[in-house]
Amino acid sequence: MPQTDNLPSPESLLALLKSRRSIRRYRSDPVPDEMVEQLLEAGRWAPSASNRQPWDFIVVRDEAIRQQVAQHAAFYFIKWAQVEEAPLLIVLCGNVRNRFYRQFLHEDVGLAGSQIMLQAKALGLGTCWIGALDRKAVAGILKIPEHLEIVGLLTVGFPAEDPPPTSRKPLSEIAHYDVYGNRVDDGDATPGQIPAGPLGILLRRFRLPFRV
């Protein structure tokens, strides 16, 4: 039997997932060390392809360095004010050295980032994922080596706003059962065909009895 003591109930976990909002206004209070450690711990326990854990988390608290990073956290000329305001930034980096595993990098680091955001919510902290930033400039400021790619940046701090719920597409628009397009879970679906690649076309042309 898996250990379930002290785990949140399914209902309370779902309530936590639903109540997390991107926070763009922060109080200036610093985030206590024990909380920072819990955030990193949450990221560390994320799943990753072959358990390679291809991430590094850079915790930026120094005011001067944060402000430099904030200058390069922008979508063209629109700067994200929350990066200037948040007392803590966590820069999520992924190791690009392995050519094969590089294909899973964004999933791996994205999952770690998601776990950090949810742990932050559980701690009463707010976060916002910042994707639009000048990665080259930020890498330079933070002395990030070449083999690491900045996947995202999280602003972290005690919220100074309580944003209204954001919308989500209804399940009826995004869920399919057994095969794409089947909107009801009636066990009545038939599978499609595997598209033939160039090898399949060749084998079929010469009537060779292989399935590709």
Radius of gyration of the chain (CA): 22
Does 129 participate in binding ligand FMN (rule CB under 6 A)?
Answer: yes
Q: Tell me which DSSP letter residue 22 carries.
A: B
Exactly one of 21, 27, 135, 204 binds ligand FMN (CB under 6 A); that residue is: 21
> What sections of the chain are H helices per DSSP?
10-19, 33-44, 63-70, 81-85, 105-122, 135-141, 171-174, 198-205
Told to check if 57 binds ligand FMN by CB under 6 A, we report: no
* Separation CA 107–CA 94 (nearest Å): 10
Identified binder of ligand FMN from the candidate list 166, 172, 190, 193, rule CB under 6 A: 166
Which residue has 């706003």 as its token pair?
161
> Is 128 among the residues that bind ligand FMN (CB under 6 A)?
yes
Residue 105 in contact with ligand FMN, rule: CB under 6 A:
no
Taking Cα atoms as reference points, which of 189, 193, 191, 48 lies closest to residue 113?
48
Least gap, CB of 80 to ligand FMN (angstroms)? 5
Q: Using the rule CB under 6 A, which residue among 30, 32, 131, 140 binds ligand FMN?
A: 131
Selected range binding ligand FMN among 39-47, 92-100, 125-133, 203-211, rule: CB under 6 A: 125-133
Binding mask 65-94 for ligand FMN (x = CB under 6 A): ---------------x--------------
| Helix (H/G/I), strand (E/B), else coil: 199 | helix
Q: In the 8-state DSSP scheme, what is residue 49?
A: G
Report the alpha-carbon distance of residue 106 to residue 110 in Å, rounded: 6
Quote the least distance from Cβ 111 to ligand FMN, whole Å.
12
Backbone angles phi, psi at 60, to 5 degrees: -110, 115
Cβ-proximal residues to 8 (8 Å cutoff; 6+ apart), any chain: 16
The correct pick among 42, 130, 148, 150 for binding ligand FMN (CB under 6 A) is 130
By C-beta, is 15 or 212 nearer to ligand FMN?
Answer: 15
Nearer to ligand FMN (CB atom), residue 8 or residue 131: 131
Interface residues with ligand FMN (CB under 6 A) are 21-22, 80, 128-132, 166
